């Protein structure tokens, strides 16, 4: 049982940067897998990036590789997503998720945040 709260979303321009944060609380001791997903209007939720609290097992979707960086701060119990070179196609609601194992499959995560909107203007 982990609670997640995202923050940092907003309206930016193409090529800009933005940092999203996710604060975790509750039974984080049983949470080993952390991830960011996003969902655009009318589309299915898609994997963005994953990581473990230790910083290992990081992975990225091909669409964001080289532009986004995921990080985890075990002391502060936060998961961050630093996004650079943003494109209009990055526009979506971004969700952080927590589960037992770092995964690219949304079904593997039992805990989800409420989401934060990221809008990139062209």
Please write the tens of the pLDDT for every residue from 1-48.
799 999 999 999 999 999 999 999 998 777 789 999 999 999 999 999
The predicted structure's pLDDT at residue 30: 78
- Mean pLDDT of the residues in the chain: 95
d(C-alpha 40, C-alpha 98), whole Å: 20
The predicted structure's pLDDT at residue 20: 98
H or E segment to which residue 89 belongs: none
**Phi–psi pair at 32, nearest 5 degrees:** -110, -25
Residue 72's nearest CA partner among 97, 53, 49 is 53
Taking a C-beta distance cutoff of 8 angstroms, is the pair 9, 1 a contact? no
Total Cβ atoms within 10 A of residue 55: 12
CB contact set of 101 (below 8 Å; sequence gap of 6+): 32, 33, 108
Question: Tokens 């499959």 belong to which residue?
Answer: 105
Residue 33's nearest CA partner among 115, 83, 104, 116 is 104
């Amino acid at each position: 049982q982990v609670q997640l709260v995202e923050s940092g979303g907003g309206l930016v321009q193409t090529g800009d940067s933005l940092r999203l944060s996710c604060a975790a609380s509750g039974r984080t001791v049983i949470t080993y897998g952390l991830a960011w997903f996003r969902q655009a209007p009318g589309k299915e939720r898609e994997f963005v990036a994953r990581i473990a609290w230790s910083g290992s097992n990081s992975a990225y979707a091909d669409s964001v590789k080289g532009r986004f960086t995921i990080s985890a701060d075990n002391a502060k119990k936060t998961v961050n997503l630093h996004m650079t070179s943003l494109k209009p196609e990055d526009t979506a609601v971004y969700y952080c998720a927590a589960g037992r194992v770092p995964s690219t499959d949304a079904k593997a995560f039992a805990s989800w945040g409420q989401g934060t909107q990221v809008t990139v203007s062209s």
